[in-house]
Chain A
Amino acid sequence: MGAPRPLPRLDADNRPFWTGGAEGQLRITRCQDCKTFIHPPRPVCRKCLSENVVPEAVAGTGVVDTFTVNYQKWHPALDVPFVIARVAIDGAPGVFLTTNIVGCPVDQVDVGDRVRVKFEQQGDVWLPLFEKVG
């Protein structure tokens, strides 16, 4: 679909997140001591400062917290309109992902919609997009 997306530069901190889709997993880093989820991923827990943190697979579902329908062509090759949303991730309290809601008309997205991850591979990166459930 449309122009290639800007892709993240993979590094030690972000690689599990951006490549989890290869195994169909949405991975969020979690403190193994106090169980807090840490996103963006970093090698320390922002709640208890433990360094015992590892990426964990979560269910891959969530709820649309808020969204916008983007109409502006920020560059000429961009296909518009499309939906940008902030999704609250099930099972990872306090973690939100900015993403796109795909697979439905832009006027069919609303706050509170239940969504499920749908990975889009581009090169060495698996982008966690979301689509509506049911």
Chain B
Amino acid sequence: MPDLIRTLAQAPPIITDGAWGTLLQQQGLHAGECPDGWNLSHPEAVRQVAAAYAEAGSMVILTNTFRANRISLEPHGFAGLVHEINRAGVEISRRAAGPKTKVFASIGPTGKMLMAGDVTEEDLREAFSEQASALAGAGADALLLETFGDLDEAVIALEAAKKNGLPVVVSMVFDSGKHRDRTMMGKTPEDVAHRLTAAGADAIGANCGLGIEGYIPICARLKGATDRPIWIKPNAGLPEWQNGTLIYATTPEEFAGFAPELYASGATFIGGCCGTRPDFIRALHACLFPAHATRPEA
């Protein structure tokens, strides 16, 4: 499907999905257990999470493959299952998505620092190529590089992902510096937008981080520095300890209340990251499409 991103971007905003981790935990995933392994051991539980978002109004859902590169899977003993885990992840999301919802396959960073010599460029290239190829081969509509903190690693992953002929979205975390507007490695939204545009990203964005309000100016800066559509998926703030459990105190309504401004600042794709749930997606939908009783066609 050529130009999928461009087509979607003609009818913004496109509502993406929310966090999967908490939902999987509600289904029994243990703290510290590798969620990606559940594509093989608990596919039905994973499908339910995917379906919950599709039903809540997500026009794009992701896949449970965020850690499914061989470097991140290694400590969990799953490095030999890269192909199987990624393939299963796409198939599960595909089944849950139905014909109208798009499936963007998630690729996360390796957690190793290139600059500290934890890993070589070749290691990264191989790991990302392996994962991207498995995801593309299984029928994903696009590939999403998300939660990257190192632009160098993101560019290596982007180049590997682009070899598969699918559109590639690249989303980074901006939470550092005096104004919390830089990546961990010190790059500004402008640095990121320029470099990723030159490297061929089909959409560029920001996810995770410190909350939705702070991502509005970052969205505007990304938009101002590229002609590519913008992808934003903020956290529901930071977690608090209340009554013996950790909760994200931002409500769906509070979160969605910022969505119109986010859209006005240039976001084409809007969703949520840590701390969000299907009710956040319903709230986004109500805020962004108040006239629609049901979700618009993607």
Q: Do A and B come from one complex?
A: no
B-side residues, CB < 8 A to A, are none
Residues of A within 8 A of B (CB): none
